[in-house]
Structure 1
Amino acid sequence: MLQGTASNVGKSIIAAGLCRIFYQDGYRTAPFKPQNMALNSYITDEGLEMGRAQVFQAEAAGIKPEARMNPILLKPCGNHTSQVIVNGKVIAQMHSSEYHTYKDTLIDVLRNTFEGLEKSYDIIVMEGAGSCAEINLKEKDISNMGMADIADSPVILVSDIDRGGVFASIVGTLMLLEEHERARVKGVIINKFRGKKEYFESGVRMLEDIIKIPVLGVIPYSDIKIEDEDSVTTRFKRTSEKRDINIEVIRTPHMSNFTDFDIFETQPDVSLKYIDYGENIGNPDILIIPGSKSTVSDLKYIRENGFDEDIKRCAESGKLVIGICGGYQMLGRKLIDKKHVESELDEVDGLGLLDTVTEFDSEKRTVQTERNISDCLSGYFESLSGKKVKGYEIHMGRTYPCSDSEIPMFQESSGKESSDGERDRKVSMGYVNSTGNIAGTYIHGIFDEVEFTRALLNGIRMRKGLEPIESEVKSFRQFKEREYDRLADMLRENMDIGKIYEIMGL
């Protein structure tokens, strides 16, 4: 089990790398995170919801993601409440105090889920959450040492040197652990190192003299492109030079599934920028309103910060405006919430850029989807007819057209998904306006199909008088496979993998 001295020290990435190494070495390996708090989630083949970190770890291990790899998923809703998802299904929305009590019932869930997973695989690579030394939360800990006790697992402690204070964080964490917990810690990894490691060797020796635990590796800061787990990522602060095509994404407080846009970072002619609080929307070629766990709240945020006027300005100037899931709902005329799923309001005005209305329901739709782009679209989508897209849906609302002015984005006869009955056949998973510059869809991962995305980008290039280009990345999945191999190579070079096998008794 990998546990951390803090959040965002790199546990998820190192876990993925170990999954890849064990897979390369012939072991059937699975990831496991007992409790994950994240707005980035994924829908399995069975229609079950799980955190995306365990998805890319499963990919690295060469297996399909299963919800039991992340049995407890908490999706923050604001005001100290979270949607609680257990083994892939929504249980309830709980206040933090209510959930603290509910944890008692989850211990058996974790034990049973872990034991079932353990019977199916040779190695389980577990990941803790945040810091393992939160002494005020230790009584009902199920994320770190509490889970290590259930699994009777050795622990490797991960710390981030880039943020400073690495020696104090490691020593302090170990001091705050109880004696039987410290006995579980068999090694330490120092992550995100910049500089020449030979200058750091004396520091490693001094640290080992103090903690009496071996340092198993000093991992360099790298440019390996693996998904970030959640919004603690530093990606939102990255600045990239302006390129031929500029894409801006509005970073709302409850933004979900920002991994939808990872593909753009593989395209050499694209710069991707997240617009945060206090910043201004510029003059992007594509403006994206992302998914949201709290659509009504994020729509209010957009209005309070004046982003709504910027969105309309981009739309009126003919720029491409795309809404994904919650962003799709915001683009319509009305958001109706008579069951008060999203807020205490029965009805909220949308941005009015699509002639649609969304009705929220208490039942969440979770399904994988495969579609083909409609052949009757204009504007930016005119050259995309028949292009295949696939991904998954996670939403509490259903979106309906108010008139025939909006055109379904997808051919309705195509797709691999479960049916929600007669009513849903009247609902498209996306709409495009008549001029083809405003579009919304419920499909997360829609841009992962390189052929579709590159055709969309080349259409923008041609509008700007630029020649189309081909993507060096022909398949996003193959690109990720290469990155997992790069990650494994980097860990093998900088970690004592033999010692890790020894710690596991292999």
Structure 2
Amino acid sequence: MAKQELTGALMVQGTTSDAGKSILVAGLCRVFYRRGMSVAPFKPQNMALNSAVTPDGGEIGRAQALQAQAANVPLSVHMNPVLLKPNTDTGAQVILQGHSIGNLEALDYHEYKPKAAEAVFDSFNMLSEQYQHILVEGAGSPAEINLRKGDIANMGFALKANCPVIIIADIDKGGVFAHLVGTLELLSEEEQALVKGFVINRFRGDIALLQGGLDWLEEKTGKPVLGVLPYLHGLHLDAEDAVPENVKADDNQQFKIIIPRLPHISNHTDFEPLRLHPELDVEYISHLETIPPADLIILPGSKNVGFDLQWLKSQGWEEAINKHLRYGGKLIGICGGLQMLGKTISDPLGIEGEITDHIGLALMDFHTTLQAEKQLTNVGGKLAFTDAPITGYEIHAGITHGKALENPAVLLDSNHEDAKPDGAISTDDQILCTYLHGFFDTPDSLQAILDWAGATTIEQFDINTQRESQLERLADAIEDSLAMDDIISITQKQ
């Protein structure tokens, strides 16, 4: 891409987590793109277990991948230079410009922040050479007093980059005026000067009933309200981190799929094509919840496979899965879920903790050894039991070997004679496992997998078409509800 002169940047910060930062940046990216503007998303520091693989073999937060799709630009590791993937309550794997530098405890990472800051501004400068506009997403809240020192995620970044800020708050949570005024009051004068306005998110009802509060907020703070986004019922876009809430099934959803909500579940966006399919009833089962009967059980990916395997057993899943298989049910394992299905998981380097050997569910004849270096690749091929094409991406540190792999589930690069096998299908055809994330994203392969599982679905579902329609819907709402000319003007005044 030819070098472009940076016109401006804008940062979206929130009063809380899940205030709507990711969605607003995605929507603004699509609005800027529709207006013919060169734009890219950027998040200095992200903490999430949902990630995507870039074309150059790096790893970034899944939200930035969605924002890049909204902007219609290729993924880059520089869109999310620091990604923290929690693997314990106090520690995380640190991904720096797409690649792991190892695990750090919270206090150790605090000491590492100056080096992380170098990566952040290096990546920001590189994007600034390629795109005219950069839309920056903050993390959590800028008013977290205990995290202010050495901050690179919110105002620490904005100050150094001299980047204007708008603050978004979720009125559906309640207390929206307290959130906005309180957040602003906890900022320094220099930081307050960077705040150019507010956006209120998820409003239900007649906007006239809110007007008095908006007038008060503007008079109180001296900052304009740049718009009020309505509550968009049924808006389905990839979640930043939190697993979506279960939705009560309707009469059209006869095929039941259950997924354990592992303590360290990763890339649960894999299951959005299933969760949003109009004919499937998908339910996440949480800690101590009863495991209901189902047609299909899926074991998801995990950032700490050994810990989550023991949790799975403690919750009664081993017995439930064996009973499910005895009654003819189908079972799928994705990435970490694949590893759990084998006989053993060995962690000789202590990547996931002090316990280095784990006994798996022993439902497939293979063994896994965790290694320091991750496999990070975008791949394509076909399902081994049909000609249906499939695309996906690998993010895993394990190497799996064993007899069960002689009957693969997927053939990667299947147009070549040296097609690489992936995963396995059990000899009784009841269990399928793969390392591929995005396993259900291709419509033809999704239909073939559902046929294999015994689902008599009628409609073919395309998650990619769905994402595009939802991004367009979000952009329309932003155009209708926000002062876009003012927002663009703020972006350009630096």
Equivalent position of 2:388 in the other structure: 387
How far did residue 345 of structure 1 move?
Answer: 2.9
Contact 1:338 1:345 in 2 (8 A): no
By how many angstroms is 1:58 displaced? 0.3
How far apart, in 2, do the equivalents of 1:150 and 1:173 lie?
20
Letter matched to residue 410 of structure 1: V
Q: Distance in 2 between matches of 1:170 and 1:282?
A: 43
Secondary structure of residue in 1 paired with 2:173: coil
Which residue of structure 2 aligns with residue 433 of structure 1?
A: 426
The alpha-carbon deviation at position 340 of structure 1 amounts to 2.1
- 1:83-482 matches, within 5 Å, as 83-222=93-232, 223-231=234-242, 235-241=244-250, 243-375=253-385, 385-402=386-403, 407-411=407-411, 414=414, 428-458=421-451, 460=453, 468-471=457-460, 473=461, 475-482=462-469
Aligned counterpart in structure 1 of residue 27 of structure 2, from 17, 22, 25 = 17
Aligned to 1:382: none
**Amino acid of the residue matched to residue 245 of structure 2?**
F
CA drift of 1:50 comes to 0.6
Alignment partners' CA distance in 2, 1:2 and 1:403: 49
**Higher mean C-alpha deviation, range 241-250 or range 255-264:** 241-250
* Secondary structure of residue in 2 paired with 1:115: helix
Give the counterpart of 1:489 among 476, 483, 487. Answer: 476
Aligned-partner residue type, residue 437 of structure 1: Q
How far the C-alpha of 1:350 sits from its partner, in A, is 0.5
State the one-letter code of the partner of 1:226. Answer: L
Answer yes or no: is the 8 Å Cα contact 1:17–1:60 preserved in 2: yes
Check conservation: 2:143, 2:183, Cα contact below 8 A. yes
Is the partner of 2:149 in helix, strand or coil? helix
Give the 3 Å change call, closer, same or farther, for CA 413–120 of structure 1 in structure 2: closer
Question: What SS is found at the alignment partner of 1:315?
Answer: helix
For 1:479 and 1:448, the matched residues in 2 are separated by 11
CA distance in 2, matches of 1:107, 1:144: 12
Partner Cα separation in structure 1 for residue 255 and residue 158 of structure 2: 47
Moved over 3 A (4+): 237-242, 458-462
TM-score (norm 1): 0.91
Residue 5 of structure 2 corresponds to none
CA deviations on 1:389-413 (whole Å, 9 max, x unpaired) are 1110111111112458x62112366
Contact 1:366 1:395 in 2 (8 A): yes
SS in 2 for 1:131: coil
Mapped partners of 2:208, 2:255: distance in 1: 42
Distance in 2 of aligned mates of 1:403 and 1:17: 45
Deviation at 1:428, TM superposition (A): 3.8
CA distance in 2, matches of 1:64, 1:216: 30
Cα offset, 1:274, TM superposition:
0.7
- TM-score, normalised relative to structure 2: 0.93
- Decide which of 57, 67, 75 is 1:65's aligned counterpart: 75
Decide which moves more: 287-296 or 350-359: 350-359
Structure 1 position 476, deviation (Å): 2.7
Change in Cα spacing, 1:25 to 1:307, as seen in structure 2 (3 Å) is same
Contact 1:244–1:461 (Cα < 8 Å) also in 2: no
Q: Percent identity?
A: 40
Q: What SS does the corresponding residue of 1:8 show, helix, strand or coil?
A: coil
The count of residues paired between Structure 1 and Structure 2 equals 480
Q: Are 2:494 and 1:501 aligned? A: no
The CA deviation string for residues 225-269 of structure 1, in whole angstroms up to 9 with x for no partner, is 2111002x5x23443336121111110000000000111233211
Per-residue deviation, 1:460: 4.8
Q: Structure 2: state its 5+ residue gaps.
A: 1-10
Q: Distance in 2 between matches of 1:397 and 1:26?
A: 43
Distance 1:412 1:162 in 2: 45
Structure 1 residues 415, 218: closer, same or farther in 2, change over 3 A? farther
Residues 194, 221 of structure 1: 8 Å contact kept: yes
Q: Which amino acid aligns with 2:393?
A: Y
Q: Deviations over 1:122-141 (max 9, x none)?
A: 11000000011112221211
* Cα RMSD for the two superposed structures: 1.8
Give 3-state SS (helix, strand or coil) of 2:227's partner. strand
Find the residue that maps to 2:292 and give its secondary structure: coil
Does structure 1 conserve the Cα–Cα contact (< 8 Å) formed by 2:366 and 2:402? yes
Q: For the residues of structure 2 that align with 1:371 and 1:280, how far apart are their CA atoms?
A: 38
Q: 2:330, 2:453 within 8 Å by CA — same for their partners in 1?
A: no
Shift of the 447–105 alpha-carbon distance from structure 1 to 2, 3 Å rule, reads: same
Q: Does the C-alpha gap of structure 1 residues 134 and 239 become closer, same or farther in structure 2, counting only changes over 3 Å?
A: same
Residue 346 of structure 1 and its aligned partner are, at CA, apart by 3.5
Deviation of the 1:220 alpha carbon: 1.2
Whole-Å separation in 1 of the counterparts to 2:260 and 2:192: 43
